[in-house]
Amino acid sequence: MKRKFKIGLLLQIVLAIALGIAAGYVMPVQAARIFATFNVIFSQFLQFLVPLIIVGFVTPAIADISNKAGKVLIATALIAYVATFCSGMLSYFTGVLTFPGMITPKSLDAAIGNGHEITPFFTIEIPPMFGVMTALVLAFMLGIGIAYSNGTVLRNAATEFRDIVARAIHSVIIPFLPVYIFGIFLNMTLAGEVGGIISAFVKIIVIIFALAAILLIIQYCIAALFVKRNPFKLLYTMLPAYFTALGTQSSAATIPVTLRQAIKMGVSEDIAGFVIPLCATIHMSGSTLKIVACALALMIMHGMPYDLPMFAGFIAMLGITIIAAPGVPGGAIMASLGLLASLLGFSEKDQALMIALYIAMDSFGTACNVTGDGFIALIIDKYFGKRNKDLPATDEVITGK
């Protein structure tokens, strides 16, 4: 039986960018309008789906977390959130210091085809059912309410709704995303600005990779202060989880390896069995680092105003919104699109560039997330390893039952 060859999403995005740039030099404007029409319709559907992603994935995540009582849960969730927030702030301050010298502030409107170079043949309006903040508040209200009620109807409904949204992402967004990215870079090339943007993005990606390595070193140095051990030996022990995540692009799929390596670091099995699966959904340091850096870079390119309070609020909300992001490549950036628009003022085409940038580095962000889970497990084990009566069974944590 022949094995079916499958191209991964990352390679699809890279090919879409390359083909979009190449086609921009030879494709007639009238032919390019076909892709402009597709992009408008796809973008409208994506904007419609964003609030539903938040409700669909945050609601059952909050319900599942809130339903598990205990000091260990509270401490783990708090450390994971603080780590995620601090990684975003580290990314922001690094970007403020380095990006202005690397990026020339200019508007990207011409570069991404703001209706001047290529216009669609027609448009279809698909307005969202409600705004992003409404979706987030609704998700918290439903999640907490479900957690503290004894009924199963809403819990099952929330789970089924999450599955419906995930199916829409798997069946519509992910398959057509390369076409969407192709259209964006086709428009950029026709506008004559693709060279400067690609050059700037390459520099940004190099900075993000270096920053992710620094973040992991900082996290394990902090853990070493608690456990009194060599941070580099601890980090070395977690490298198999890092490289596994590079291949799987999924925190959930890497849980067995992350769990094994955490135990090898000396974390007790009960603590590791609780903290590692939980952190796979709530600890997003690597993802937040990438999103913040890319967002700041695009704002500098635009010449858009930004300041610390704006990004502090954005990072604080981001750490909540992307918990339990869909189990698909790029799930975190999909869940964050609404915040990019509502808090930072990103246009639909800016969000498309964010998607392309994020997915180009998706596996490295996931690897940073899961490797950082080990430092949280070390701290939790230091204080709760000998008194873990609050912990549910390991299989209960992994299955969410």
Question: How many residues are given for the chain?
Answer: 401
Q: What is the per-residue pLDDT for 386? A: 60
Q: What is the DSSP string of 176-231?
A: HHHHHHHHHHHHHHHTT-HHHHHHHHHHHHHHHHHHHHHHHHHHHHHHHHHHTS-H
Task: Give the distance between the most distant pair of CA atoms in the chain.
Answer: 70
What is the rounded CA–CA span in Å between residue 360 and residue 228?
Answer: 37
**Distances from the Cα of 256 to the Cα of 209, 251, 252, 401, angstroms:** 25, 10, 9, 18
Q: Count Cβ atoms within 10 A of the Cβ of residue 330 and give its class: 0-12 exposed, 13-18 middle, 19 or more buried.
A: buried
Q: What is the per-residue pLDDT for 193? A: 60
Neighbours of 232 (CB within 10 A): 12
Gyration radius (Cα) of the chain, Å:
21
User: What contacts 24+ positions apart, CB below 8 Å, involve 300-306?
Assistant: 300/95, 300/99, 300/100, 300/103, 300/105, 301/103, 301/104, 301/105, 301/106, 301/108, 301/197, 301/200, 302/105, 302/106, 302/107, 302/108, 302/350, 303/105, 303/106, 303/107, 304/344, 304/345, 306/344
C-alpha dihedral, 127 to 131 to 135 to 137, nearest 10°? -160
Q: Do 56 and 326 form a contact (C-beta atoms < 8 A)?
A: no
DSSP-based three-state secondary structure for 330 = coil
Q: What is the per-residue pLDDT for 80? A: 92
What is the rounded CA–CA span in Å between residue 289 and residue 84?
Answer: 8
Q: What is the per-residue pLDDT for 108? A: 47
Residue 164 carries which side chain, given as an amino acid letter?
A: I
Q: What is the per-residue pLDDT for 94? A: 92
Task: Return the structure tokens found at 126.
Answer: 């698909």
What is the rounded CA–CA span in Å between residue 214 and residue 397?
Answer: 30
Q: What is the per-residue pLDDT for 393? A: 43
pLDDT in tens, 355-368: 877 877 777 888 89
CA angle 184, 250, 280 (to 5 degrees): 120
Q: What is the per-residue pLDDT for 392? A: 47
pLDDT under 70 in the chain at which residues?
Answer: 1-10, 65-70, 105-117, 191-197, 247-250, 324-330, 386-401
Neighbours of 356 (CB within 10 A): 24
- Model's pTM, two decimal places? 0.77
Task: Return the structure tokens found at 277.
Answer: 């699966």
Closest CA to 252 of 327, 325, 167, 322: 327
Q: What is the per-residue pLDDT for 112? A: 45
Q: What is the DSSP string of 250-314?
A: -TTTTHHHHHHHHHHTT--HHHHHHHHHHHHHH--HHHHHHHHHHHHHHHHHHT----HHHHHHH
